[in-house]
Structure 1
Amino acid sequence: MAIESVGESIVSKIAELLVEPTIRQFRYMFCFNNFVQEFNEQKKNLALTLDRLQKAVEVAERNAEEIEKDVNKWLEDANNEIKGVNPLENETGKNGKCFTWCPNWIRQFKLSKALAKKTETLRNLEENSKKFPTVSHKAPLQDIEFLPSKGFTPSESSKKAFEQIMEALKDESIDMIGLYGMGGVGKTTLVKEVGRRAKELHLFDEVLIATVSQNPNVTDIQDQMADSLGLRFDEKSKKGRADRLWQRLQGKKILIILDDVWKVINMEEIGIPFGDAHRGCKILLTTRLKDICSYMECQPTVLLSLLSENEAWALFKINAGLHDEDSTLNTVAKKVARECKGLPIALVTVGRALRDKSAVEWEVAFKELKNSQCLHMEQIDEQKNAYACLKLSYDYLKHEKTKLCFLLCCLFPEDYNIPIEYLTRYAVGYGLHQDVESIEDARGRVYVAIKNLKACCMLLGTKSEEYVKMHDLVRDVAIQIASSEKYGFMVKAGFGLKEWPMSNKSFEGCTVVSLMGNKLTELPEGLVCPQLKVLLLGLDGGLIVPERFFEGMKAIEVLSLDGGCLSLQSLEYSQRTFNRCC
């Protein structure tokens, strides 16, 4: 019985192996239309899948994400297969009628077999598309700060400083380098060039840059470094984030550029592995204060000096659009250039402000610079001169609305990426562009003003077209102008204040108050601010706004609260008072 059972099993298997192929062969001859239908349906399904994946890839690319290699390979294969079916479709179309009335069995057999094979290939491709968990991933951010820059024009001083820094970077015994010089002399531009060159020569595994500013924010510095590293913090506390950053950087050969330093920095608090136990990490810092280099034990300490007279004239002439043949104009232009005292930011802004101006206007500008007195400032002479030059550039802006847009930029903390969308809201609330029909029209006008301010170097571009920045020296000038009685701004943004500033005994003349970037733990009751239009506050998270705080603010149009919360009573006051809140 066992032998018979085995024999039956073998016979059954042989029959199966013989019958199925035979049936398939008969189908190729007699079921041609079925093969055509299956093929068309599968091609349609694959085309829909291809379209869906292609749209997902386009969205990922718009978000600057990197497409997975297997997804790109699948897209290429799918496109090739869909394009490759054209000859087969043409053959099917040409012979369809002939197959119906007087079939050529051999050709019908071959074509059916080709359609079945192609259908299976398309089906497999469609099935493979379901294996992708995602089409893309976040690519490490490219440090555009370290891309070649047209803004770097070497001077004798910058060449010397550059060579000193590069030599120090190659010296294993040096771990802290200080670059100092007055505001606007070009320190940031120089260290970005150093970073670019260091990357180009592969001196370090990583080159990072972070802006520190007068009121350092540890979390912000950590975020800047994490963005460059493609690092995501899950930790909430500064200590936890510092430990994570330390872990990411430890053991690597790394250059960290800390720009615009005003105080001694605690590297451990940020999460920078530094010192004898981490000799692979080098710090390059920039500062206006030579003492900071000493306190931070920088070796070497490098000075970036002002431009020589010839270098200054060359830079000024380019930005003012002057030509050698303009002998009469060049005579007064050289006098104006000398008043800029070799400071690059002054030479560029004044040069662009006076571009295409008449000889009379040049003479007037020279006299204004020569006689300018910054009576309310205690900076050294060179710094006073820089302010005078930047004030002149402001005065030469053509439109009053452009000037006001410029002043509104000083409401944000130092070195802040200023959202143009917020700037638009503040401009509308302040009363600019009241003649427009929609917020979209106002937004367009603000973008035009921003474009003009960037063209004359009063504002700086960022990685995104949606944001702008202000050089800290330019911002100081803007605050000085905006704080005058004419405009009535009160700006103390990013100071880390916990108490309401009472330096102003009266707020009756204030039109704008910016206390962004602070952590105020208390607010005064019932401020009398009848002209206040824009109020920007940074509050401690637990602060409840007093119920009568808004009582004396009858003209307010824009309120921005970061932190804190409104009580029901203060909310009632605000609803009766405000027209626009953001």
Structure 2
Amino acid sequence: MALESAGGSIIAMLAELMVEPVGRQFRYMFCFNNFAQEFKEREENLVSEKDRLQDVVRAPERNAEEIYKDVKKWLEDANNEIEGAKPLENEIGKNGKCFTWCPNCMRQFKLSKALAKKSETFRKLGESSEKFTKVADKRPPQRIEFLTSKEFTPSKSSEEALEQIMEALKDDNVNMIGLYGMGGVGKTTLVKEVGRIATESQLFDEVLMATVSQNPNVIDIQNRMADMLGLKIEENSKEGRADRLRQRLKKVEKMLITLDDVWKHIDLKEIGIPFGDDHRGCKILLTTRRKNICSSMKCQQKVFLRVLPEKEACDLFRINAGLDDGDSTLNEVARDVARECHGLPIALVTMGRALRDESAVKWKRVSKQLKNSQFPDMEQIEEKNAYACLKLSYDYLKSKETKLCFLLCCLFPEDYNIPVEDLTRYAVGYGLHQDGEPIEDAREQVHVAIKDLKACCLLLGTETEEHVRMHDLVRDVAIQIASSKEYGFMVLEKWPTSIESFEGCTTISLMGNKLAELPEGLVCPQLKVLLLELDDGLNVPERFFEGMKEIEVLSLKGGCLSLQSLELSTKLQLSLLTECECKDLISLRKLQGLKILGLMSCLSIEELPDEIGELKELRLLDVTGCQRLRRIPVNLIGRLKKLEELLIGDGSFDGWDVVGCHRRNECKPNRTKFVVSVSRIIIEDTEG
């Protein structure tokens, strides 16, 4: 039987010899070990190449970039080929060494042939990876604006407005649509719903959205649109930026651009939006509180978003207050309270959530307060009641820390994504942080406060947990509360002409308004918090801070500052300097009360002065973005006995002289986060 089997193998093998060139076939018979060795080498090379490419891909994946499809496919194919070759590896170990008249010779012949074929596949696949000079591209931001928010509750008025807008979008004769209605009536939520429907139904090739606000910032609007398009605008001039955006938008055949919260006529050409004869496929949808803006912008379709009718208003209020149908006493009071909200969704939601789980006595007291509320500066009765509802929602916040966090949010510009970390630092500087408590405790307090404020809709979430937003109507109320004599806040766009207006002021914010000039000095005897943003190159006058003996918090973005001018500000606890040209850093040693020092993106800093080590109260030091920082003196960090957090940007490590290293850059960390002697050290590492 063995002879017959061997004979059958020989016959089958001879048949194969007739198909391919004889020389190649004889190699399969006599050079098995060569084929096995080549197979193993090619397989190892492919595994190494796969691992290398996988490592290259890992960093952009963490950076939320889009990995190219052909790269993904190559990795998948390589993995499949490697996994699929395992049976061949097993066969190599089983294969016999005999040939003549041996039952295994045919198996050896076929295995050699299979190994040669697989080796060639490995070779071609490995060589094809050389074309991947770039593996990823920045992923376009997710269109979260156009997703229906959790707070969106369809009503008869919103459904009517939605239907009118959608009909206008399908009308080729309409290219400018205006949605107008009171602040807090739900215009922004409605246009987000329009964007979602337009995107899902593929009515347009591109659907973009930007917030305009009372003080339009053209660059911010351009950047927002560019981000959504994946466009990088490198031009510096307004005209150059506008032209770059215009050329990109003109490549889109059909698009919808939503401009939210428009307060005055805006020049689309200045932004770079092609419109009318310049681009027939472009439709504009704008929202505004003022009907005359629709006329000024020449809207062919004007859509009015009405407040909620009484029944819908009452239902919305009851849902947020958590009322059951059976509680007749509270339901009767609920109707009175809802009526005082005059159908404004934002007032109904915040008031309802403020009264959830409260007693009937408090409900009745609130109803009475709303009826007697007076806001003489408000023109419309509905707006007065919206303010009254939001003010009462604030009054019923149980924690003073939550109230402080709410008021601090109004210091940021309108429609601004407020960094939670900035809120934490301001709260510490404002006294939320007790001397014996770690900063992390203050951070936790702020997160708890934000959670409470979100729960009652006094703050809104954003695309990330690191930021929050404030509805513009809520911000108006917060500013009105904060500007009272009790708090003494001033949220400004420019310096007022009257110096006396600063006498009782405790907090001044001009964030978001790049100042082109500053007064030589100010008499602000009670000022504790100053937040400024300056034009690049603007020098802060040497005597600017002399009349601010009580200042505890300074946040300055842009401009040029000599730290010597702060020598008399001995009560300063927090100093955040961003993109600022800093001079005379050694003067920091006079600021012995400093708890937080931020020198973010200050490109003029190449070395931290040894004098910083004298700041015995310093808890947090942030030098992220200081790309020219090359040296920190020996033992400086060790002398800061109370330091809890040190933040250093990855760019700051290039060219560092580090004690204990024989060569520069030898000690560059390769991790994003690690802990040493202080409680929190964060290293920004974009390279992975």
Distance in 1 between residues matched to 2:364 and 2:499, nearest whole Å: 39
1:57 CA drift (Å): 3.3
1:520 corresponds to which of 515, 539, 554: 515
* Equivalent residue, structure 2, for 1:383: 383
Residues 97 and 400 of structure 1, relative CA distance in 2, 3 Å threshold: farther
* Equivalent residue, structure 2, for 1:258: 259
* Equivalent residue, structure 2, for 1:167: 167
Contact 2:95 2:104 (C-alpha < 8 Å) held by counterparts: no
Contact 1:549 1:570 (C-alpha < 8 Å) held by counterparts: yes
* Equivalent residue, structure 1, for 2:303: 302
Q: How does 1:54-453 map to 2 (within 5 A)?
A: 54-94=54-94, 110-111=110-111, 114-250=114-250, 252-375=253-376, 377-434=377-434, 437-453=437-453
1:449 CA drift (Å): 2.0
Distance in 1 between residues matched to 2:210 and 2:565, nearest whole Å: 40
Distance in 1 between residues matched to 2:368 and 2:498, nearest whole Å: 35
Deviates more, 1:210-219 or 1:272-281: 272-281
1:573 CA drift (Å): 5.4
Distance in 2 between residues matched to 1:227 and 1:236, nearest whole Å: 16
- TM score, norm. by length of structure 1: 0.87
Residues 89 and 278 of structure 1, relative CA distance in 2, 3 Å threshold: closer
Residues 517 and 107 of structure 1, relative CA distance in 2, 3 Å threshold: same
1:28 corresponds to which of 31, 38, 55: 31
Deviates more, 1:268-277 or 1:119-128: 119-128
Q: How does 1:488-507 map to 2 (within 5 A)?
A: 488-492=488-492, 495=493, 497=494, 500-503=495-498, 505=500, 507=502
Contact 1:312 1:337 (C-alpha < 8 Å) held by counterparts: yes
1:263 CA drift (Å): 0.7
* Equivalent residue, structure 2, for 1:7: none
Render the CA deviation track for 1:413-470: whole Å, top value 9, x for unaligned.
1011111121221111112133675434433332232222112111111222221111
Residues 374 and 504 of structure 1, relative CA distance in 2, 3 Å threshold: farther
Contact 1:185 1:343 (C-alpha < 8 Å) held by counterparts: yes
Contact 2:206 2:254 (C-alpha < 8 Å) held by counterparts: yes
**Structure having the larger proportion of residues in helix:** 1
* Equivalent residue, structure 2, for 1:551: 546
Distance in 1 between residues matched to 2:469 and 2:73, nearest whole Å: 41
Distance in 1 between residues matched to 2:409 and 2:170, nearest whole Å: 40
What is the identity, as a one-letter code, of the residue corresponding to 1:414?
E
Contact 1:273 1:281 (C-alpha < 8 Å) held by counterparts: yes
Contact 2:510 2:531 (C-alpha < 8 Å) held by counterparts: yes
2:533 corresponds to which of 516, 535, 538: 538
1:185 CA drift (Å): 0.5
What is the identity, as a one-letter code, of the residue corresponding to 1:456?
C
Residues 437 and 318 of structure 1, relative CA distance in 2, 3 Å threshold: same
Residues 36 and 213 of structure 1, relative CA distance in 2, 3 Å threshold: same
Contact 1:211 1:259 (C-alpha < 8 Å) held by counterparts: yes
Residues 226 and 84 of structure 1, relative CA distance in 2, 3 Å threshold: same
Residues 128 and 388 of structure 1, relative CA distance in 2, 3 Å threshold: same
Contact 2:530 2:554 (C-alpha < 8 Å) held by counterparts: yes
Render the CA deviation track for 1:91-124: whole Å, top value 9, x for unaligned.
334569999xx99666556545544543443343
What is the identity, as a one-letter code, of the residue corresponding to 2:146?
F
1:347 CA drift (Å): 0.2
Render the CA deviation track for 1:120-179: whole Å, top value 9, x for unaligned.
433433332222112222233332222244433222222222222222222322222222
Contact 1:332 1:362 (C-alpha < 8 Å) held by counterparts: yes
Render the CA deviation track for 1:329-360: whole Å, top value 9, x for unaligned.
21222211111111100000111111111212
1:476 CA drift (Å): 0.6
1:542 CA drift (Å): 2.7
1:409 CA drift (Å): 0.9
Distance in 2 between residues matched to 1:307 and 1:271, nearest whole Å: 37
Deviates more, 1:154-163 or 1:117-126: 117-126
Deviates more, 1:287-296 or 1:388-397: 287-296
What is the identity, as a one-letter code, of the residue corresponding to 2:173?
S
Deviates more, 1:377-386 or 1:143-152: 143-152
What is the identity, as a one-letter code, of the residue corresponding to 2:355?
L
Residues 18 and 271 of structure 1, relative CA distance in 2, 3 Å threshold: closer
SS in 2 for 1:257: strand
Deviates more, 1:110-119 or 1:507-516: 110-119
SS in 2 for 1:519: coil
Residues 94 and 428 of structure 1, relative CA distance in 2, 3 Å threshold: farther
Residues 395 and 253 of structure 1, relative CA distance in 2, 3 Å threshold: same
Contact 1:49 1:126 (C-alpha < 8 Å) held by counterparts: yes
Contact 2:148 2:189 (C-alpha < 8 Å) held by counterparts: no
Contact 2:489 2:508 (C-alpha < 8 Å) held by counterparts: yes
Contact 2:96 2:104 (C-alpha < 8 Å) held by counterparts: no
1:203 CA drift (Å): 3.1
Deviates more, 1:398-407 or 1:557-566: 557-566
What is the identity, as a one-letter code, of the residue corresponding to 1:194?
V
Contact 1:560 1:581 (C-alpha < 8 Å) held by counterparts: no
- TM score, norm. by length of structure 2: 0.74
SS in 2 for 1:446: helix
Structure scoring higher RCO (CA < 8 A, sep ≥ 6) equals: 1
Distance in 1 between residues matched to 2:46 and 2:525, nearest whole Å: 67
Contact 1:177 1:285 (C-alpha < 8 Å) held by counterparts: yes
Residues 104 and 161 of structure 1, relative CA distance in 2, 3 Å threshold: closer
Distance in 1 between residues matched to 2:399 and 2:56, nearest whole Å: 45
* Equivalent residue, structure 2, for 1:10: none
Contact 1:460 1:471 (C-alpha < 8 Å) held by counterparts: yes
Could you tell me the percent identity over the aligned residues?
Answer: 71
Contact 1:349 1:456 (C-alpha < 8 Å) held by counterparts: yes
* Equivalent residue, structure 2, for 1:563: 558
Render the CA deviation track for 1:177-229: whole Å, top value 9, x for unaligned.
22211100111111222222333343333222111100111111111222222
SS in 2 for 1:185: coil
Residues 436 and 109 of structure 1, relative CA distance in 2, 3 Å threshold: farther
Distance in 2 between residues matched to 1:326 and 1:504, nearest whole Å: 56
